[in-house]
């Protein structure tokens, strides 16, 4: 039996709903491991995993590293600064050199959309996309799904609105595809300048006002305003953005039902989300972080192993 997910995890767009459910269901028992005194199981003992991070990251990199270590894999972190990437080495050359040292998996974050799949076609190791440009961030999408499922139960028919800077957000794309595959209704809300031109093609509802989104939704996934990717004047100012689109306690209080608030982090407090919302009773932002480790453990586990050429040696039952 080879991996039920195939060789790589590049995005949620091409996963089936069964594969997404398998990852979420597999993540459930992994939650318990992080609650043990000895937070470690031997599943990936002997596997070597390289975390190749060409963009800054705290949460995702550390979360992957915890997931790898709690599965007993050996891990190496490579960042663009301080490695030969700074000397002009290409992505493929870097990865091939790592492969020559006999690695099993690469977790890659890169500023260029499609970088993970470019790499996956060229190396034999399993590749996990930890965010490629504005394309996808599949493990973030999965941990959002897991957190929503923890609080809302089956997501079929549940309404989730993705708010803010959808244009620059790989989290938004992974969320839209992931949520739709498990049967949720998806909407987006944000200034037109921060929504992709073809947003309707995703099959989502578009809200122009945050008040309408709050009225409609069971959960809001509030995106960070990605000022570092904004090359032109997309919004007049952060302050004005907060006044028109900010998720505030006051706006949430007007909603008739309890709305779950998610944020992929890092937060711009006082811009897309107010502090009393981020730290308030609606927020499941830290649950997302906890679930991130479990989801990444599930992905690593499901991609690992299954080398048929070794199966001959393993003949015999396993009872």
Partner 1 sequence: MPARNEEPQTLLTASAVERTLKRMADQIVELNDGTEDLVIVGIQRRGVQLASRLCALIEKSEDAKVLQGSLDITLYRDDLQTIGPRPVVGPTNIPWVIDGKNVVIVDDVLYTGRTVRAALDEIADFGRPARIALAVLIDRGGRELPIQPDVVGKKVTVEPGERVDVLVEDLDGRTAVVLIPPGDAAP
Residues with a known catalytic role: 59-60, 87, 109, 137
Is 109 within 8 Å of 130 (Cβ atoms)?
A: yes
Window contacting partner 1 (CB under 8 A); options: 24-32, 75-83, 196-204, 240-248: 24-32
Considering the complex, what minimum distance in angstroms separates the CB of residue 314 from partner 1? 4
Residue 92: both structure tokens together = 């493929």
Residue 99: both structure tokens together = 């492969």
Binding mask 38-67 for partner 1 (x = CB under 8 A): x-xxxxx-x---------------------
Residue 111 CA to chain centroid, in angstroms? 15
Is 71 within 8 Å of 297 (Cβ atoms)?
A: yes
By CB under 8 A, is residue 18 in contact with partner 1?
A: no
Residue 73 CA to chain centroid, in angstroms? 21
Binding mask 276-315 for partner 1 (x = CB under 8 A): -------------------------xx-xxxx--xx-xx-
In this chain, which of 37, 100, 101, 232 binds partner 1, going by CB under 8 A?
Answer: 37
Considering the complex, what minimum distance in angstroms separates the CB of residue 302 from partner 1? 5
Considering the complex, what minimum distance in angstroms separates the CB of residue 179 from partner 1? 23
Residue 42: both structure tokens together = 């031997």
User: Which residues are CB-contacts of 276 (< 8 A; sequence separation ≥ 6)?
Assistant: 248, 249
By CB under 8 A, is residue 92 in contact with partner 1?
A: no
Is 109 within 8 Å of 60 (Cβ atoms)?
A: yes
Considering the complex, what minimum distance in angstroms separates the CB of residue 75 from partner 1? 17
| b/e per residue 127-145 (b: at least 16 CB within 10 A) | bbbbbbbbbbbbbbbbbbb
The residues binding partner 1 (CB under 8 A) are 1-4, 22, 25-26, 28-30, 32-33, 36-38, 40-44, 46, 71, 301-302, 304-307, 310-311, 313-314, 316-319
């Amino acid at each position: 039996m080879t991996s039920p997910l195939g060789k790589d995890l590049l995005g949620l767009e091409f996963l089936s709903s069964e594969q997404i459910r398998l990852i979420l269901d597999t993540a459930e028992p992994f939650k318990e491991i992080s609650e043990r005194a000895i937070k470690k199981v031997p599943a990936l003992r002997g596997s070597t995993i390289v975390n190749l991070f060409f963009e800054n990251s705290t949460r995702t990199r550390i979360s992957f590293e915890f997931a790898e270590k709690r599965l007993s894999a050996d891990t190496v972190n490579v960042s663009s600064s301080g490695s030969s990437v700074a000397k002009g080495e290409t992505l493929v050359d870097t990865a091939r050199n790592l492969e020559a040292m006999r690695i099993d998996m690469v977790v890659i974050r890169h500023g260029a959309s499609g970088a993970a799949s470019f790499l996956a076609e060229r190396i034999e190791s399993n590749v996990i996309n930890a965010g490629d440009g504005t394309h996808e961030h599949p493990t973030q999408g999965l941990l959002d799904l897991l957190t929503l499922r923890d609080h809302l139960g089956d997501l079929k028919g549940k309404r989730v609105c993705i708010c803010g800077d959808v244009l620059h957000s790989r989290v938004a794309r992974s969320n839209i595809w992931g949520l739709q595959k498990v049967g949720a209704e998806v909407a987006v809300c944000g200034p037109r300048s921060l929504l992709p031109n073809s947003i309707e093609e995703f099959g989502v509802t578009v809200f122009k006002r945050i008040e309408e989104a709050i009225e409609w939704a069971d959960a809001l996934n509030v995106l960070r305003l990605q000022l570092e990717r904004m090359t032109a004047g997309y919004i007049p100012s952060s302050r004005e953005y907060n006044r028109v689109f900010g998720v505030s306690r006051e706006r949430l209080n007007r909603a008739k039902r309890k709305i779950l608030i998610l944020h992929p982090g890092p937060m711009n407090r006082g811009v897309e989300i107010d502090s009393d919302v981020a730290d308030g009773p609606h927020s499941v932002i830290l649950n997302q972080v906890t679930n991130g480790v479990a989801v990444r453990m599930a992905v690593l586990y499901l991609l690992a192993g299954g080398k048929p050429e070794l199966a001959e040696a393993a003949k015999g039952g396993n009872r």
